[in-house]
Each structure stands twice: as structure tokens, then as C-alpha cells.
Amino acid sequence: MKFLQDVTLGQYMPGDSFLHRLDPRTKFVSLLLLMIVTFLIKTFIALALLSAFFLLTLLISQLSWGYVFRGVRSFIWLFLFTAAIHLFFTPGPSLPFFPIGFIDITWTGAAKGAMVASQLLLAILLSSLMTLTTSPLQLAHGLEKLIYPLKRFRIPVEDFSLMTMLAIKFIPILLGEANRIIKAQSSRGVDFESGNFLRRAKNLIPILTPLFHSIFKRADDLAVAMFARGYISGAKRTHLHELKMRGKDYWVLIGVVGFVILEMKIH
């Protein structure tokens, strides 16, 4: 169960890089645009260009490349499953030596499977890069500022942004709690690594009860702490550091929009 320690999505790595210092609203909008173009591109040339853009951004972030890429190992099953669906069920000219019985693998399926799996990989990497360079508090503050106009429609944007921050903050906490429980169960003789898929899934059942108990206890402690600090749902709150868009944020947005337009022209 080492994969629980490898998940980087939702974790934050403090730093002082150019990417860390950007306004969270800039990162939100940039990520949204890049995610859209990620799933719209259809050629490997556009995919290679987007991959190069991500690597450049990763270089600017000054994060450990090994740490960032290690975080996607937990999603390998998703990439393989997605690629396999397209590999076996997309019609087209068959690969050499195929079809074999009722199994047919096509060139079109192989290309489509590789493309979709790569798109998912890039989407997860881009999302991880934003959470790794933006603290949960900044994410919540930036999201609140972005959706603030929705308050005219009586949507509680402050509560929504707070829930988003808590959800992001709790991802690494719950993963760490699950890993602690797994280690405790392993010390008592439970084997999580050997056996087939069904047996390993069955061995995970003893984890669920203490994990849910821990989740509800942490939620209750958090509610008590917020109540003790005078939290009132819907009340206007101030921030120690107010967000302010600077020149570099506008230049980054212009650069991202220009890159997206270029990608759409060659997609």
C-alpha cells in the first residue's frame, strides 16, 4: 500500500518560485484553459507541444521532478484501463498477426488509447502542479474571488470556497491516516500485498471502519474548533493578505491564452 504515500494531488510544497508567487486566480484560470485544451487536442504534435509546456512549467516551479512524477503511479491502472478500452474496441486496420480469434487490436485503437491515456496523465500532472505550488488557503481565497459574482444569485460563495479548501486539505491527511491504519493492521498479520485482486480488496475491509471513525472524529473536532473561533456561515470574512493581480499575472494569462490558441490551431 505504498501508493498511498505517493499521491501528490492535493498536497502543497512550500517554495519561492515564480509559480508559487503567482496569484491563485491566475493559476485557476490557466489550469481551466489548459484542461480544456488537453481534452480537445487530437494530434500527437499538439500533445508533444503541451507536454513541453508542462515540463517548462515544472522547471519554473523548482519542484522535484521525481516527486511530481511519482505521484501519478497510483493512477497507472486508470491509464492502462482507458488505453485497453480503446485498444480492443476501436475499429480500424488491424495490427500484424491480428485478429487472433475474437481478439482484434487495430492501429486506430492503439493510437486512440495512447492519446487518451496521455491526456489523462497530463490532466493529473497539471492539477498536481497547481496544488503543489498553491496553499489550500490561497486556493480557497482565489476560488472565492473568482466566483464572488455568483453571490448575486444567493449562492454562498464563502461557504463553498471553505468546503473546497477543507476537501483539498483533508486529502493528504486522510491518505496519511489510511497509511497509518494499514501499517497497524500489517503489524497484526493482515497481508495487503499478496493474493489476487478479490482477496486484496477483501483485506481492505478492516481498514474502512477505523478510517471512517477517524474521518468523523476529525470533522467533529473541526466543527468544534470553528464554532469556538466564532465562525458564522454566510458572514463576511476578512483575510490577512488580500489578493491583488499584478503585471506578471496578466502576462502569464496572456501567454497561456496565446498558447491555447496555438494548440487549437494545430490540434
Q: Per-residue pLDDT tens for 20-63?
A: 999 999 999 999 999 999 999 888 899 999 999 999 999 999 98
Q: What are the pLDDT digits (tens) for 193-241?
A: 666 666 666 767 777 778 888 888 888 888 888 888 777 776 666 666 7
The three cell numbers of residue 105 are 487490436
Q: How far apart are alpha carbons 229 and 35 in whole angstroms?
A: 38
Using a cut of 0.85, tell me whether the model's pTM lies above it. no
The three cell numbers of residue 67 are 516527486
Contact 264, 40 (CB under 8 A): yes
Average pLDDT over residues 114-123: 91
Q: How far apart are alpha carbons 211 and 205 in whole angstroms?
A: 10
pLDDT band at 3 (very low <50, low <70, confident <90, very high): very low
The three cell numbers of residue 192 are 495487503
Question: What's the number of domains the chain is made of?
Answer: 1
How many other CB atoms sit within 10 Å of the CB of residue 122?
Answer: 22
Q: What are the pLDDT digits (tens) for 51-89?
A: 999 999 999 999 888 888 887 887 888 888 888 888 877
| Higher local confidence (pLDDT), 59 or 96 | 59
Q: How far apart are alpha carbons 164 and 181 in whole angstroms?
A: 26
Chain-centre distance for alpha carbon 1: 20
Q: What are the pLDDT digits (tens) for 134-174?
A: 887 788 788 888 888 877 877 777 777 778 777 777 777 77
| Across 21-30, 106-115, 171-180, least confident range | 171-180
Q: How far apart are alpha carbons 239 and 16 in whole angstroms?
A: 21
| Higher local confidence (pLDDT), 133 or 179 | 133
Q: What are the pLDDT digits (tens) for 250-265?
A: 999 999 999 999 988 8
Kindly calculate the radius of gyration of the chain based on its CA atoms and give it in whole angstroms: 22
* Strand ranges for the chain from DSSP E: none
pLDDT at 58 (0 to 100): 93
pLDDT at 55 (0 to 100): 94
Looking up cell 471553505, which residue turns up?
Answer: 162
User: What's the domain range around 208?
Assistant: 3-266
pLDDT at 224 (0 to 100): 87
Q: How far apart are alpha carbons 233 and 244 in whole angstroms?
A: 25
Q: How far apart are alpha carbons 194 and 199 in whole angstroms?
A: 8
Q: How far apart are alpha carbons 123 and 80 in whole angstroms?
A: 15
